[in-house]
Amino acid sequence: MISPNAKAAFETWAAFYVLESAKCYRNNYKNGWKVLCYQSKKRIENFTPKSLFIVSWCFMHRMTHKTLYLTIDDSPTSGTEEILAFLKEKEISTVFFCRGDRLEKLPEIATKIVKSGHILGNHAYSHRHFSNLKLKDCFDEIVRTHHIIDNIYREASTIEYPKVFRFPYGDKGDYKYGHHLLPFKEAFLLHRTRFEKIKSELYHTFSRKFFINKKNEGIHRKIEIQKYLVSMEYVPFHKSKINYNFLRCLVSHY
């Protein structure tokens, strides 16, 4: 059974997200999202050192009601089995976005996730910023994890399954490093070292032309990565067949 402290933290966190997501939808979306991310970090400080997971929500703007989806990032970990026990008790299904390197170390837990009626999502192999990698390395991060997940599903006697991908840190390889709400220049400079910034001020390394070229290159990289994902039959989460009824059917099946 999951510990009382972890259980209380989990329930408080979930309730918090339902409340705050409604506020974000009603008020300014972008500003609300920043506040939501900041507040959520404070809510999970006392959860458990064994595992790190992220509750993410998404709105379908054309839906008549708001839907909250639970996803867990950076899986599997040594604390995943404890989380699975809690999810089973509450009859909750979720998507575990998994790192390839962790799947290799804990394949038995990954198989248990599938057999418990949950979905394995691709979260790249080593959880590195795609903006720091060459395109070829980005593709390798995706495909290595894809093959590992595919083998786990086959071991669980499941051939067809939803293919969903989440970028590490939300970084789509466009040199914005996941800071999608910020202007390109500001997002790019956030991940420069102090030495690089000083050097730029002295030698004008980062000129206006530099940022224009870098931004265009980033857009091209993002498009190429998206094309690669589509070629492997990955679809955006909100366009996948994963929904509340789909997840409930999985629970009843297993």
pLDDT band at 250 (very low <50, low <70, confident <90, very high): very low
More confident residue, 172 or 55: 172
Domain spanning 50-174+233-253: CATH superfamily: Glycoside hydrolase/deacetylase (3.20.20.370)
C-alpha to C-alpha distance for 104 and 93, rounded to whole angstroms: 23
pLDDT band at 61 (very low <50, low <70, confident <90, very high): very low
C-alpha to C-alpha distance for 146 and 163, rounded to whole angstroms: 9
Residue 225 is predicted with a pLDDT of: 96
pLDDT digits (tens, 9 = 90+) for 209-248: 889 999 999 999 999 999 999 999 998 765 555 554 544 4
Supply the pTM of this predicted model: 0.70
pLDDT digits (tens, 9 = 90+) for 117-144: 899 999 999 999 999 999 999 999 999 9
DSSP notation for 205-229: -S-HHHHHHHHHHHHHHHHHHHHHH
Residue 245 is predicted with a pLDDT of: 53
Among candidates 32, 113, 29, 17, which has minimal Cα distance to 67? Answer: 17
| Domain boundaries along the sequence of the chain | 50-174+233-253
Residue 193 is predicted with a pLDDT of: 85
pLDDT at 177 over 90: yes
